[in-house]
Amino acid sequence: MAAALLGWVSLSLLSTAWFVSSSSDGLGSRSLTETCKEIAASVSSASMVYDKVSVHYIKDISHWASSSSQIAECSFEPGTSLDVGIALQILGKTQTPFAVKGGGHASNPGFSSTMGVQIAMARFSDVKYDAPSQTATIGAGLVWDAVYAALEPHGVNVVGGRASGVGVAGFTLGGGYSWLTNQYGLTIDTVQSFELVIPNGTVLNVSAASDPDLFFGLKGGLNNFGIVTRFTLKTFPQSKVWGGLIMYTASVMNLVNQATANFAANITDPKAQIITTYNHIFGVPGVFELVFYDGPSPPEGIFDEFLAIPYLFKDVSTRSFLSLVQASHSNASSGSRAIFNTISVLDYSVSFLESIVNESMFWGQSLAHSGAWLISYDVEPFIPSIFGHSTTPSAHPPSRDRGLLPLNIYFAWAFPTSDGIMQQAVRDSAAHLRQLAIAEGQDVADAAVYSNYAIFDTPLSSIYGDNLPRLHAIKAAVDPTNVMGLAGGFKF
- Give yes or no: residues 326 and 205 share one domain: no
pLDDT score at 328? 86
pLDDT value, residue 335: 86
Residues 113 and 179 in one domain: no
Contact 389, 160 (CB under 8 A): no
Between CA 388 and CA 53 the distance in angstroms is 50
DSSP secondary structure, 27-44, as one string: --HHHHHHHHHHHHHHS-
Residues 39 and 175 in one domain: no
* Whether residue 334 has pLDDT greater than 90: no
Domain containing 154 — which CATH number?
3.30.465.10
Give residue-wise pLDDT tens across range 363-401. Answer: 999 999 999 999 999 999 999 999 999 999 999 999 999
Please, which pLDDT band fits residue 177 given cuts at 50, 70 and 90? Answer: very high
Distance CA 281, CA 3 (A): 32
Q: Is residue 4 over pLDDT 60?
A: no
Q: Given this model, what pLDDT does residue 9 score?
A: 39
pLDDT grade for 29, boundaries at 50, 70 and 90: low
> Which whole-number Å values give the CA distances from 4 to 29, 63, 65, 110, in the listed order?
26, 18, 19, 25
Q: What is the pLDDT of residues 444-484, one digit of tens each?
A: 999 999 999 999 999 999 999 999 999 999 999 999 999 99
CA-angle at 225, arms to 221 and 227, nearest 5°: 100
Q: State mean pLDDT over 131-159.
A: 98
Classify 171 as helix, strand or coil: helix
Are 248 and 220 contained in the same domain?
no
Could you report the per-residue pLDDT of 49-103, keeping only the tens digit for each?
999 999 999 999 999 999 999 999 999 999 999 999 999 999 999 999 999 999 9
The CA distances from residue 96 to 76, 93, 229, in Å, are 13, 8, 21
Q: Are residues 210 and 282 both part of a single domain?
A: no
Q: In whole angstroms, how far apart are CA 112 and each of 146, 159, 168, 301?
A: 21, 23, 13, 43
How many other CB atoms sit within 10 Å of the CB of residue 355? 19
Same-domain status, 110 and 207: no
Beta-sheet strands, E only, within 320-473: 337-345, 372-379, 405-413
Which of 161, 140, 124 lies closest to 231 in space, CA to CA? 140
For residue 116, tell me if it sits in a domain: yes
Residue 485 lies in a domain: no
Q: Which of 434, 429, 432, 458 is nearest to 447 (CA)?
A: 434
Strands across the sheet containing 98-101: 48-50, 74-77, 117-120, 98-101
Total domains, the chain: 3
The per-residue pLDDT for 19 is 36
Is pLDDT at 23 greater than 60 in this prediction?
no
Is the residue at 181 inside a domain? yes
Give residue 305's pLDDT. Answer: 98
Q: With CA atoms as reference, report the closest residue to 121 among 99, 96, 140.
A: 140
Work out the average pLDDT over 334-359: 96
Residue 490 located in a structural domain? no
Start-to-end CA span in the chain (Å): 43
pLDDT of residue 331: 73
- The secondary structure element, H or E, covering residue 184 is helix 181-184
Residue 486 lies in a domain: no
Q: Where are the alpha helices (DSSP H) in 309-418?
A: 321-326, 350-366
What's 14's domain CATH number? 3.30.43.10
Using the CB atoms, write b or e for 137-172: b if 16+ within 10 Å.
bbbbbbbbbbbbebbeeeebbbbbbbbbbbbbbbbb
CA geometry: angle 33, 35, 39, nearest 5 deg: 120
Residues 183, 307 share a domain: no
Q: What is the mean pLDDT of residues 267-274?
A: 98
Q: Is 482 domain-assigned?
A: no
Shared-domain flag, residues 317 and 393: yes
C-beta separation of 175 from 451 below 8 A:
yes
Q: Which of 85, 120, 155 is the last residue of a domain?
A: 120
454 and 472 fall within a common domain:
no
Domain of residue 191 covers 127-238+465-477
Domain final residue pick, 93, 120, 147: 120
Q: Are residues 302 and 370 in the same domain?
A: yes
One domain, residues 206 and 256: no
Residue 112 has pLDDT above 70, yes or no: yes
CATH of the domain at 365: 3.40.462.20
Higher pLDDT, 274 or 391: 274
pLDDT band for 30, please (50, 70, 90 cuts): low
- Taking a C-beta distance cutoff of 8 angstroms, is the pair 60, 75 a contact? yes
Residue 147 domain-assigned?
yes
Residue 488 lies in a domain: no
Percentage helix, strand, coil, to 5, in the chain?
Answer: 40, 25, 40
| 104, 120, 136 - which closes a domain | 120
Check residue 12 and give its pLDDT. 44
Examine the domain organization and report whether 136 and 74 are in the same domain. Answer: no
